[in-house]
Amino acid sequence: MSVETIVHVIDDDDAARDSLAFLFESADIAVRTYASATEFLAVAPGLSGGCIVTDVRMPDINGIELLKRLKAQGIALPVIVITGHADIALAVEAMKSGAVDFMEKPFDDEAMLRAVRSALLRHGRTREEGQERAAIRQRLAILSNREQQVLEGLVAGHANKRIAHDLDISPRTVEIYRAHVMTKMAASSLSELVRMALITDATGKVAASEG
């Protein structure tokens, strides 16, 4: 069972909780259920994937407070909020607090499944992107100061001659540094190198050159 595909259902209503569990299991989506946000928060720090489906109105800790606590703990699982017709204002507040979607009762089963699959895919992409950024940052960390300066020039779209002039070195020296940067960053092309720098906001100067 992959943790990336587990749906965590939080609802104090036993029947509603069991109904959602049955829906997800019938669609071959792994599910874990919790009778309260407190119960879920007790295990949340150890979770590394999946998504959350929670009722917005619950005793003790409601859906809004749950979102705030998850954010405070740095838990970035996508959250879908279930709301009654009278709770639309709360649902809007939940979206502003970080929920990715809300489903109004009574919701269509297929609509709920689409929302959950979308949330799981989104989280999968976010995890992959985060892992890629971390790997790129590790490569950036081994660049020398001069190599960083050459990288900034390349990201800004400057030619070797312009970079050489700005750094007061020869174009040939720029070519050497550029080759070192390409090797250390494991970039197969200039476009790939620039993409790496941009998705990580490599340095303040790189970000500024794009603004």
The three-class DSSP label of residue 80 is strand
pLDDT at 125: 64
Cβ neighbours of residue 154 closer than 8 Å, sequence gap 6 or more = 163, 178, 181, 190, 193, 194, 197
pLDDT at 208 over 60: no
Lowest mean pLDDT, pick from 35-44, 91-100, 112-121: 91-100
Return the number of other C-beta atoms located less than 10 Å from residue 113's C-beta.
Answer: 16
Specify the amino acid at residue 156: A
Comma-separated ranges of CATH 3.40.50.2300 domains in the chain: 3-129
- Strands (E) across 20-89 are located at 31-34, 51-55, 79-83
Lowest mean pLDDT, pick from 18-32, 52-66, 135-149, 194-208: 194-208
- What length does the chain have? 211
What integer best gives the mean pLDDT of the chain?
Answer: 85
Q: CA-CA distance, 194 to 64, in Å (whole number)?
A: 40
pLDDT at 209: 35
Q: CA-CA distance, 114 to 87, in Å (whole number)?
A: 22
Query: CB burial class (10 A; 0-12, 13-18, 19+) of residue 207?
Result: middle
Token pair recorded at residue 115: 């929302």
How confident is the model over 121-141, as a mean pLDDT? 74
Cross-strand bridge partners of residue 103: 82
- For domain 3-129, give its CATH number from 1.20.1250.20, 3.40.50.2300, 3.30.470.10, 2.60.40.10: 3.40.50.2300
pTM over 0.75: no
Token pair recorded at residue 206: 């790189």
Comma-separated ranges of CATH 1.10.10.10 domains in the chain: 142-210
- For domain 142-210, give its CATH number from 2.40.10.120, 1.20.140.10, 2.60.120.10, 1.10.10.10: 1.10.10.10
